[in-house]
A and B are shown apart, each in its own frame.
Chain A
Amino acid sequence: MLKSILTILLVGVGLQVATAQYKFEKEDRIKAKEVPAAALAFVEECAFPKKICWYREQGYNSVSIEAKTKFRGTKYSIEFDTLGTIEDVEYKIKWQDITQEAKSAIQSYFDANHSKTNIRKIQRQLTGPDLDLQQAMLTDEYVGTVTKYEIEVKAKIDGKYMLKEYLFDSKGQMLSVSEVIFRNSDNLEF
């Protein structure tokens, strides 16, 4: 009985491993010595007091390197390409940290498009020259950087609740939207 169950389990797992279509998006922890020199230099120049954790994020067609750290109570995520060129800096902010102009435009957009919204998470996304990005992170002065807002929203659309991720520019104009697909949670529910 026991042998049969184990055999069925193992054969099944083997078949699934062999035939499954993988969503090729993976985040792996890497060591500092595996990080491109330019990315390492950028982060070292910031002299963050806390530990830096490095990750390699692999998507369908792209690979990026990410540094994560906590500075003055805020979690920063700094993304680079594989050559170490910075792509953007992201960190969590509150609704009141958004400029009044952008807030009004974003709220108007939500009011016009959804019957009900509940903001789950807001991130400021910064792009720009290296020095300006470093300055922005260390001093909260956004000179020479471009700000975008990444907002995760629970919205009711056509009577159905969905989790959407919006990207707005600094004036609150919507740039892109994608639906966040919930991961399977059977092993937490049943």
Chain B
Amino acid sequence: MSKPIEKTYNEDDIELKLPVNPAYVSAARLTASSIANRMGFNIEDIEDIKAAVSEACTYLIKRHYHSTQADGYKIVFSLLPEKLNIHLCMQTQGSDEQLLDETELGILMIQSLMDQLHYNIGEDGQLHIIMQKNIG
């Protein structure tokens, strides 16, 4: 019996790549609520996840002027046991001060709606927003 091919990705990850265009934030919300529903989150938690994803997309779009024009942004939904991890990233050219604004209303909302939130600029110049919601 041959050894299975080692996967470099999690087979339950769902990736969405979106253009930096406000018209498609609703597509991110729909995807988020569909995934959360399938995972068994209750209705209130689904609404929280939907709103948090929308705010995270909006946060990136508002900072797009620091980004390279051709790139969009990516959302990875990782379906983990008893929790959903959502990772958004976008290539940027700005400095930390301009890109990380903890006083922004959207960030404060995500902090209230989700169980965990981290955001930073990676060494690769990517702006990352990572958030998590536990089931139950």
Determine if chain A interacts with chain B: no
